[in-house]
Amino acid sequence: MYFCRNKSAKKPLIWGLRCNMAIINSDINQAKIFLDQGNVIGIPTETVYGLAGNAFDIEAVTKIFEVKNRPNFDPLIVHTNSVERLKDFVHYLPEKALLLAQEFMPGPLTLLLPKHESIPDLVTSGLDSVAVRIPNHALTLELLANLDFPVAAPSANPFGYISPTSARHVEQQLGERIPFILDGGECQIGIESTIIGFENEEVIIFRKGGLAIEDIEKIVGKVSVNTHSSSNPKAPGMLKSHYSPKKDLLIFDKKTFDIDTQKERIGYLAFREYNINLPKENQLILSESGSYKEAAKNLFAFMRQLDAMEIEKIYVELLPEKDLGRAINDRLRRAAVK
């Protein structure tokens, strides 16, 4: 089966032709056709773009792992469009989970809950819990409302590389491997969702993300934060090495960094201020105003820009450990692991 971009065609499929890149547009009906046929496609969310397939279809889920080159021990997140439909994919919602869902869904929140038998083991990597969320993106919510199934959707990038925050990013990385990308513009949050699980009455953050811990604690009180990375993760996004550019990425340390000994060409990613010791054209600032939301939105796009520059290494500055700075630092630390 081959697909071909054809902007004038009413039908999304042209059989027997091989084309290089995916179709990109905002046609929800076209996206639905591809998903109904068992294909995997790129979809927008408020966090990052996802690589979506029918979560009930083993073959579609297998394609997700194959297209991303993702190890099947790393579980996927199931997406739907309402809390009521979400209840169909889990055995129950703890009281605190329901409170969080009512407050933050749709939004950058993923709940880790006991899975219903309707969810294939491949989606959860054989675990008894499933990660579920409702993305806060109008185009994707409308698409999900018109589907008879939820979609499994990790980030739409090759496994381990920087997550995509635009349809163009998805095309650059996976455009030759998928037939269609639903274009919903740039992602408004820019880092993945916060993943929360529950053990008895305890609320546990398994992945820091686009929902700040401070906001979560306003609803459910004090939470625990899982600080351990794992080669056998209990939830998506827990692997030690992830989000990495092709160039070496290093955490900047003023105490040990000696500009005079740095012979290679250097890129620099900082929170608010340029480094006066480095060429300004090789530097990107996440938010000169100090906005954590702006920094999160720019993070992955700026990492891509630096990765494309004629430089040899990328140094990054960690943010203060508060608000979304925690989640940004989590991504930077994982990207720096080799």
Domains of the chain and CATH, by start: 23-225 (3.90.870.10), 248-336 (3.40.50.11030)
Q: Over range 161-178, report the average pLDDT.
A: 96
Q: pLDDT category, 171, cuts 50, 70, 90?
A: very high
Least confident range of 206-210, 232-236, 333-337: 232-236
**Cα–Cα dist 170/25, whole Å:** 13
Cα 300 from Cα 292, distance rounded (Å): 14
Per-residue pLDDT at 1 exceeds 50: no
Mean pLDDT throughout 247-266? 74
Stronger pLDDT, 330 or 13, i.e. the higher one? 330
Interatomic CA distance for residues 96 and 57, integer angstroms: 31
pTM summary value: 0.88
Contact, 219 vs 202, CB < 8 A? Answer: no
Checking if the pLDDT of 277 tops 90, the result is: no
Q: Is residue 278 very low, low, confident or very high in pLDDT (cuts 50, 70, 90)? A: confident
190: left (phi over 0), alpha (psi -120 to 50) or beta: left
| pLDDT-derived band at 3, boundaries 50, 70, 90 | very low
- CA torsion, ordered 326, 331, 337, 338, to nearest 10 deg: 180
User: Which of 93-107, 123-137, 225-239, 299-313 has the lowest average pLDDT?
Assistant: 225-239
